[in-house]
Amino acid sequence: MKEIVFSFFLLFGCISLTVAQRTISGKVTDSAGEALIGANVTAKGAAGTGTIADIDGMYSLKIPAGITKLVFSYTGYDAKEVTLDASNVINVVLVEGMLLDEVVVTALGIKRNAREVAYANQKVNSEELLSLPNKNTLEALRGKAAGVKITTASGSVGASSRIVLRGESSLTGNNNALIVVDGIPIDNNSTSGGSGQAQDGYADYGNRFNDINPSDIESVTVLKGPAATSVYGSRGAAGVVLVTTKKGGSGSKTNFKVGINSSYSREKAYVLLKRQDRFGQGYDNAHLDSGENWSLDFTN
């Protein structure tokens, strides 16, 4: 009697296992009817359950109970999700994906396909610039473009920033990259210290690139090679940074997005020294004091 009961439970378990699992088979082809060799077939919701199509595009996949959808994918084609029905044979046709070529802005604002550009260039989109809140566009570019060196004159709010693309090539000249905003070059020199920037030794009053709101920028393209910057002559010898701002367009869908962020900072001198005007930095062998010298008179 015990042997009969044991055989009954063993048979019942085999039947349950057979009902729980299901085998789906079929063929994966493209729109022309050609077999897609190596197409991926996975069961949605079942990790590790999948297979690939053979040389004829045929596949066979055993799926567990509860799985209702299969996902078919192939490189260069749009993935397709199929809902299972009573049939165990599912043939799928995948459609070739629409791949958009990346467009970069080259010298003089000319837009070209990134694959057609032979010289070194790198594009940074607005989403990357705004990934972290930053008041300064140059500071927002830090760490997002290869070979770009950005230094700030000081930690003060509104301090000038300089950008060097091709290294320090001159000890006395200007090593700053030329910045072009919507086709118009801007003067990014400042009166802060640093090679090629200090004109009179006065205090740092910032530079004009600080006036650009990072939220108004659509993209920033960095041009490094001589072939890319030759149209700008000697001014582009240290590299060029092309800034394209956002513009409205007719016939396109308008999406409104509002983002609010604010910050407050206050600077306070740890030690306020007495002001003296007997000694100054001077300029051009003349006794010209900027009036910005805060220090003790050590002659007394």
CATH number at residue 36: 2.60.40.1120
> How many CB atoms lie under 10 A from the CB of residue 8?
10
Query: Do 48 and 123 sit in the same domain of this protein?
Result: no
Of 113-117, 159-163, 165-169, 192-196, which one has max mean pLDDT?
159-163
CA nearest neighbour of 136 among 115, 158, 117: 158
Average pLDDT over residues 67-81: 88
Query: Which carries the bigger pLDDT value, residue 257 or residue 276?
Result: 257
Whether residue 123 is found in the same domain as residue 220: yes
pLDDT value of residue 13: 46
Given this model, what pLDDT does residue 94 score? 92
Question: Do residues 283 and 196 share a domain?
Answer: no
Shared-domain flag, residues 82 and 114: no
Say which residue the tokens 């296992």 belong to.
Answer: 17
In this prediction, residues 232-243 reach a mean pLDDT of 80
Among 82, 80, 75, 77, CA closest to 24: 82
Residue 58 predicted with pLDDT over 90: yes
16 vs 32: CA distance, rounded Å: 41
**Among the residues of 92-135, which ranges form H helices?**
126-129
- Residues 282, 212, single domain; the answer is no
Cβ-contact 238, 254 below 8 angstroms: no
Domain interval for residue 277: 268-300
CA distances (Å), origin 113, targets 144, 145, 191, 225, 242: 21, 19, 39, 17, 16
Amino acid at 205: Y
Once rounded to an integer, what is the mean pLDDT over residues 44-55?
A: 86
CB 214 within 8 A of CB 132: no
Q: Is residue 260 part of a domain?
A: no
Lowest-pLDDT range, 38-52, 207-221, 252-266? 252-266
Do 70 and 9 share a domain, yes or no? yes
Q: What is the pLDDT of residue 4?
A: 53
Residue 295 has pLDDT above 60, yes or no: no
**pLDDT tier for residue 228 given thresholds of 50, 70 and 90:** low
Task: Measure the CA–CA gap between 91 and 26, rounded to whole angstroms.
Answer: 5
pLDDT recorded at residue 244: 86
CATH of the domain at 238: 2.170.130.10
Same domain assignment for residues 226 and 296: no
Rounded mean pLDDT, 30-57: 88
Q: In the structure encoding, which two tokens stand for residue 194, read together? A: 């640093």
Mean of pLDDT over the chain: 73
Instruction: Looking at the structure, tell me whether residues 13 and 144 fall in a common domain.
Output: no
User: Are residues 278 and 204 part of one domain?
Assistant: no
pLDDT of the residue at 201? 47
Report helix, strand or coil for 260: coil
Higher pLDDT, 133 or 31: 31
pLDDT of 9? 47
My answer on whether 7 and 28 are in the same domain is yes
- Look at residue 255 and tell me if it is in a domain: no
Mapped onto helix, strand or coil, the DSSP state of residue 221 is strand
Amino acid (one-letter) located at 102: E
Tally of domains in the chain? 3
Rounded to 5 degrees, what are φ and ψ at 234? -65, -25
Amino acid 293: pLDDT: 52
**Pair 190, 225 in one domain:** yes
Q: Assess whether 241 and 288 both reside in one domain.
A: no
CA nearest to 229, candidates 194, 178, 263: 178
